Amino acid sequence: PAAILLDCDTGIDDALALIYLCSQPHVELVAVTSTPGNVAAEQVARNNLALLELCGRADTPVAIGARSPLRVPLVTTPETHGPQGIGYAELPAARRTHHARDAVELWVEAARARPGELTALLTAPLTNFALALRAEPRLPELLRRTVIMGGSYYYQGNTTPTAEWNTHVDPHAAAEVFAAFAGQPEERLPIVCALETTERIELHPRHVAALAEAAGCAEPELVLPDQPEGLRSRASNPLVRHMSDMLRFYFEFHRRYDQGYAAHIHDYFAASVAADSAWYETRAATVHVETQAPRLLGTTVADYRGLWGEPATARIVSGNRPDEAFAELVLSVGALARR
Enumerate the active-site residues: 266
- Helix (H) / strand (E) containing 195: helix 195-198
- Give the range of 6-14, 242-250, 298-306, 319-327 binding ligand BDR by CB under 6 A: 6-14
Phi, psi (rounded to 5 degrees) for 296 = -110, 10
In the three-class reduction of DSSP (H, G, I as helix; E, B as strand; rest coil), residue 314 is classed as strand
Kindly state whether residue 170 participates in binding ligand BDR, applying the rule CB under 6 A: no
Dist CA 66 CA 105 (whole Å): 11
191 binds ligand BDR (CB under 6 A): no
69 binds Ca ion (CB under 5 A): no
The nearer residue to ligand BDR, 167 or 286, going by C-beta atoms, is: 167
The 3-state secondary structure of 124-164 reads CCCHHHHHHHHHCCCHHHHCCEEEEECCCCCCCCCCCCCEC
- The binder of 53, among ligand BDR, Ca ion, none, by C-beta within 5 to 8 A per type, is none
Single out the residue of 2, 4, 7, 14 in contact with ligand BDR (rule: CB under 6 A).
Answer: 14
Q: Residue 203 is inside which H or E element, if any?
A: strand 202-203
Select from 33, 35, 38, 146 the one that contacts ligand BDR (CB under 6 A). Answer: 38
- Find, among 138, 102, 146, the residue nearest to 121 by Cα: 146
Q: Any contact of residue 34 with ligand BDR (CB under 6 A)?
A: no
170 interacts with, out of Ca ion, ligand BDR, none, CB within 5 to 8 A per kind: none
d(CA 314, CA 48) in angstroms, rounded, equals: 28
Check binding of 272 to ligand BDR (CB under 6 A): no
Nearer to ligand BDR, 201 or 217 (CB): 201
Cα separations in angstroms, 61 against 52, 82, 96: 10, 25, 10
Number of residues in contact with ligand BDR under rule CB under 6 A: 13
Closest residue to ligand BDR, Cβ-based? 165
The residues binding ligand BDR (CB under 6 A) are 11, 13-14, 38, 80, 123, 149, 158, 164-166, 266-267
The residues binding Ca ion (CB under 5 A) are 9, 11, 14, 123-124, 267
